[in-house]
């Protein structure tokens, strides 16, 4: 295993946010000497199978995950400002059970919890937590936002709650280092961008200081991530264009979300990550430990169908026809043409088994 593993990685399936095409992303990871890589798109798993196949083909261990949106209240609450800004949470599937649970969470977030974004809540997390690894999240996560707004004591309560949901061995403090101080010194910035960077720098310092304290106090390991949205540093401007499309802004607008002022959200090499966390080497080591915790093999190319109990030992096709004819009476005008079409469709099902 290489000395660092990226566990927070967005692809083109983080729509209008991630720029990385999966084949190029996996190739770049391989070229950097990495032998494991995670996918954690915003609220979706659209790219999971493509990512899995590409990684296996390249000889890289695929880690399937997602950056979930956590509703501040119930995932079914949908009222104005109170529910429009969910927290972020980085989740990784540790095994087959975790993969199935992650799929369930993602599906429920879209079918029941969608309000501006697909959301789950802590009740759902408790129900489907088995087999999942949880990282505390980026600055948009509940832990860091609570730390910033309410202080370290309330943030401690948040950490303990997530630790209880996922199990002590499956919860990690996630830290990022985006070199905000260097960016403030070396970039020509307008007043708004400077203020944003100063706030992010302050928040990063607060997070690092607090996490170091709480890691020892609560016995929660720290892991380094880089929140990758594109492959190369030079792609920052192209990704900024995507964000403009997403938010309905112009590149010339200054008062907008501008990720281009932080042009290091790329797939950094292990050496760059080691340097970024030279004062916290265990955070690098824990990325490898987490990758080693993952044991997921997907059986592809095999059709999986639900199993139904057939009454009275009837033939399955006979029972399907019986149900279809019975219920069609209430739903269709059973003309000769309709019956002909109905029997044709049933014939296709029978032929395809």
Q: Could you report the per-residue pLDDT of 258-284, keeping only the tens digit for each?
A: 776 778 999 999 999 999 999 999 999
Cα distance between residue 335 and residue 277, in whole Å: 72
The residue among 225, 269, 295, 285 whose CA lies nearest residue 3 is 285
* C-alpha radius of gyration, the chain, whole number: 24
Per-residue model confidence (pLDDT) at position 50: 98
Contact (CB, 8 A) for 320 and 346: yes
Residues 13, 270, 142, 207, Cα dihedral to 10°: -150
Burial class (CB in 10 A: 0-12, 13-18, 19+), 319: middle
Burial class (CB in 10 A: 0-12, 13-18, 19+), 336: exposed
Cα distance between residue 140 and residue 67, in whole Å: 11
Two structure tokens written together for 153: 């004591």
Query: Interior CA angle at 269 toward 263 and 272, to 5°?
Result: 70
Burial class (CB in 10 A: 0-12, 13-18, 19+), 160: middle
Question: Do β-strands 87-93 and 132-135 pair in parallel, antiparallel, or remain unpaired?
Answer: antiparallel
CA distances in angstroms from 234 to 9, 204, 226, 229, 262, listed in the order given: 17, 24, 16, 12, 12
* Residues 6 or more apart in contact with residue 302 via CB below 8 angstroms: none
DSSP state of 252: T
3-state secondary structure of 147: helix
Tokens 């980026």 correspond to 138
Longest dimension (CA), the chain: 78
Per-residue model confidence (pLDDT) at position 70: 98
Burial class (CB in 10 A: 0-12, 13-18, 19+), 177: buried
Per-residue model confidence (pLDDT) at position 240: 87
pLDDT tens, the chain, 353 aa long: 679 999 999 999 999 999 999 999 999 999 999 999 999 999 999 999 999 999 999 999 999 999 999 999 999 999 998 999 999 999 999 999 999 999 999 999 999 999 999 999 999 999 999 999 999 999 999 999 999 999 999 999 999 999 999 999 999 999 999 999 988 887 788 888 889 889 999 999 999 999 999 999 999 999 999 999 999 999 988 988 888 888 888 888 877 777 767 789 999 999 999 999 999 999 999 999 999 999 999 999 888 888 888 888 889 999 999 999 999 999 989 899 999 999 999 999 999 88
Two structure tokens written together for 312: 């009275």
C-alpha count within 13 angstroms, C-beta hemisphere, residue 102: 31
pTM of the full structure: 0.88
- Residue ranges and CATH numbers for the domains of the chain are 22-293 (3.20.20.140), 311-352 (no CATH)
Contact (CB, 8 A) for 190 and 276: no
- Residues paired with residue 120 on neighbouring β-strands, in sequence order: 70
CA 174 vs. chain centroid, Å, equals: 14
- Residues paired with residue 119 on neighbouring β-strands, in sequence order: 69
Per-residue model confidence (pLDDT) at position 183: 87
């Amino acid at each position: 295993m290489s000395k660092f593993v990226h566990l927070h990685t967005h692809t083109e399936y983080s729509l209008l946010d991630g720029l990385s095409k999966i084949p190029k992303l996996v190739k770049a990871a391989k070229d950097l000497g990495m032998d494991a890589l995670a996918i954690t798109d915003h609220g979706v798993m659209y790219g999971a199978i493509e990512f899995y196949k590409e990684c296996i083909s390249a000889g890289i261990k695929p880690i399937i995950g997602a950056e979930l949106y956590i509703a501040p209240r119930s995932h079914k609450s949908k009222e104005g400002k109170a529910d429009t800004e969910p927290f972020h949470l980085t989740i990784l599937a540790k095994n087959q059970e975790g993969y199935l649970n992650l799929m369930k969470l993602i599906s429920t977030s879209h079918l029941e919890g969608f309000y501006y974004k697909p959301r789950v809540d802590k009740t759902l997390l408790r129900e489907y937590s088995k087999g999942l690894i949880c990282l505390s999240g980026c600055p948009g996560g509940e832990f860091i936002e609570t730390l910033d707004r309410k202080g370290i004591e309330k943030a401690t309560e948040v950490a303990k709650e997530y630790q209880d949901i996922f199990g002590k061995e499956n919860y990690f403090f996630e830290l990022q280092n985006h070199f905000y101080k260097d960016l403030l010194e070396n970039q020509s910035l307008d007043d708004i961008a400077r203020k944003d960077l100063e706030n992010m720098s302050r928040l990063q310092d607060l997070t690092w200081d607090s996490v170091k304290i709480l890691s020892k106090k609560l016995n929660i390991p720290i892991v380094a991530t880089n929140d990758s949205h594109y492959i190369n540093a030079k792609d920052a401007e192209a990704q900024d264009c995507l964000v403009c499309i997403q938010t309905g802004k112009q590149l010339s607008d200054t008062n907008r979300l501008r990720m281009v002022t932080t042009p290091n959200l790329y797939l950094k090499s292990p050496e760059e990550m080691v340097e970024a966390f030279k004062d916290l080497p265990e955070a690098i080591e824990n990325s490898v430990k987490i990758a080693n915790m993952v044991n997921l093999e997907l059986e592809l190319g095999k059709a999986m169908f639900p199993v139904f109990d057939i009454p009275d030992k009837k033939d399955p096709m006979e029972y399907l026809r019986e149900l279809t004819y019975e219920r069609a009476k209430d739903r269709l005008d059973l003309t000769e043409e309709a019956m002909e079409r109905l029997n044709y469709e049933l014939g296709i099902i029978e032929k395809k088994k």
